[in-house]
Amino acid sequence: MITIRIDQKDPALLTVMFPADIAANDLIRNVPGRRWSYSRHCWTVPNTRESVVQLGRLFGKDYCRFDEAVVRLYKPAASHVAVEQATNPAWPPVGVQLAELQRTRKSFRHVPLATGFDSHPVICALYDRMRIRNYSPKTIKNYKQALTTLIRYAGSRPLDELTKADFRTYLLFLIDKKHLSSSSVNVHINAWKFYQEKLLQRDKTYYEIDYPRQADTLPAVYNVAEVKAIFGATTSLKYRTLFQLVYATGLRLDEVTHLRLTNFDRRRNLIYIKAGKGKKDRIVMLSPKLLTYLDDYVRIYAPQTYLFENADLHEPLAKRTVQHVYSESVRFARILKKGGIHTLRHSFATHLLESGTDIRYIQQLLGHESILTTMRYTHVTADKISAIRSPLDNL
């Protein structure tokens, strides 16, 4: 996959970037006016329609990733769907099978819910009770999948006949045979507790289960240069603006995809988050720089209801699509740190803390119920730790 952008230093040039490849270097030498730029660490070609057409013919359109500015320059009448296809082409291309993808096997926790169990009496009762109690769709889905797995494990034995010892054996099965993480095991425990307490109306002491110890891991955090690299590697204006919004406000992915145009208060420089995690409302700041980015995006895309809409149906963007585009941007930015788009939220909180912002304000901005959740970022602030003098320096 090659990336083609308008050069920031000289708009009369296009930069062409691709991983080290001898064959690709031979191909690009067929483009008139091509040059290798040692300062940019990539090839440059004249910014002309002929260069764009030649690159598409040499490398194949399915292997070309164009920046949105290039697409709109030479195809000003292109629809938003066509722009998204050019800026975020499918990878691998249609009809191409990568050997590593053929060997990919989804883990147990990602097995989709079998629809055949949707009519099971336990699943139906669980679904109705959770809807009455106003649980989120994601929690309902997780609990349904957890109890479906337990029903499969139990076989012909009814769930209400399972004892505490039976459930402990089941937990060992999930840990030893299915290799679930402690957080995934906790979902199964919580689903079981909900079933026992809310559906069977049993006493809480009957199903008291020990929770597995959680690993005390630190969140991955980007430095400022890495954040800039991700924005620079994002060829789509829509997704670049979305990533900038996440970093500027610390919103969760579900919150940013469901932002409506009416959630913005330009006079007070505020963004209203409606029904965030835990169905709680909160407000975050709307920075002047972010507002400039949003104005440019809205002027070009003209969303109708949601800030980031599907180009065809004008519905919120699919979270899986956003995650895929983000992963591709991180890959093209050559960042090796593991983490998804939520890492931008971690970076937002850590950078605020490093700049001296009161942790109680950060707690409100992130929507954390407990200050203890926000305090985890105190362990990854680099400015204080890097200033500590090592004993080795005194030798």
Residue 138 has pLDDT above 50, yes or no: yes
SS3 call for 101: helix
pLDDT of res. 265: 93
Q: How far is CA 306 from CA 199, 255, 282, in A?
A: 38, 11, 18
Range of 115-124, 155-164, 299-308, 370-379 with top mean pLDDT:
299-308
pLDDT in tens, 338-354: 889 999 999 999 999 88
Q: pLDDT category, 278, cuts 50, 70, 90?
A: confident
Residue 81 has pLDDT above 70, yes or no: yes
Instruction: Name the average pLDDT for the chain.
Output: 86
Average pLDDT over residues 49-74: 90
| 142 band by pLDDT with thresholds 50, 70 and 90 | very high
Which residues are tagged catalytic?
252, 277, 342, 345, 368, 377
Q: Are 90 and 97 within 8 A, CB to CB?
A: no
Amino acid 389: pLDDT = 74
Identify the band that residue 90 occupies on the pLDDT scale cut at 50, 70 and 90. Answer: confident
Share above pLDDT 70 across residues of the chain, in percent, rounded to a whole number = 89
How far apart CA 338 and CA 230 sit, in angstroms, is 13
- pLDDT score recorded for residue 295: 95
Q: What per-residue confidence (pLDDT) applies to 240? A: 95
Q: Which whole number is the average pLDDT over 279-304? A: 92
What residues pair up with 6 in beta bridges, in sequence order?
14
pLDDT at 206: 62
The whole-number pLDDT of residue 69 equals 93
* Residue-level pLDDT at 100: 44
Instruction: State mean pLDDT over 152-178.
Output: 89
C-beta atoms surrounding 177 within 10 Å:
9
Question: Out of 30-34, 72-76, 112-116, 264-268, which region has the weakest mean confidence (pLDDT)?
Answer: 112-116
- Which range has the worst mean pLDDT, 60-64, 92-96, 272-276, 355-359? 92-96
Residue-wise pLDDT for 305-340, tens only, equals: 999 998 777 889 989 889 999 999 999 998 988 889
The closest of 321, 316, 253 to 90, measured between CA atoms, is 321
Residues 237-256 have pLDDT tens digits of 999 999 999 999 999 999 99
Interval 202-214 mean pLDDT: 68
| Mean pLDDT computed over 141-163 | 90
Q: Which residues of 210-219 are buried (b: 16+ CB within 10 A; e: fewer)?
A: eebeeeeeeb
Angle made by CA atoms 250, 251, 255, in degrees to the nearest 5: 180
Mean pLDDT of the region 8-25: 86
pLDDT at 156: 86
- The pLDDT, as a whole number, for residue 390 is 73
Given a cut of 80, whether residue 54 has pLDDT beyond it is yes
pLDDT score at 178: 86
Would the pLDDT of 101 be above 60? no
pLDDT above 60 (res 109): no
Omega of the bond leading into 19 within 30 degrees of 0 (cis): no
* Domains of the chain as residue ranges with CATH: 2-101 (no CATH), 111-207 (1.10.150.130), 224-385 (1.10.443.10)
Q: What pLDDT was estimated at residue 96?
A: 58
* Amino acid type, 21: D
Q: What is the pLDDT at residue 124?
A: 92
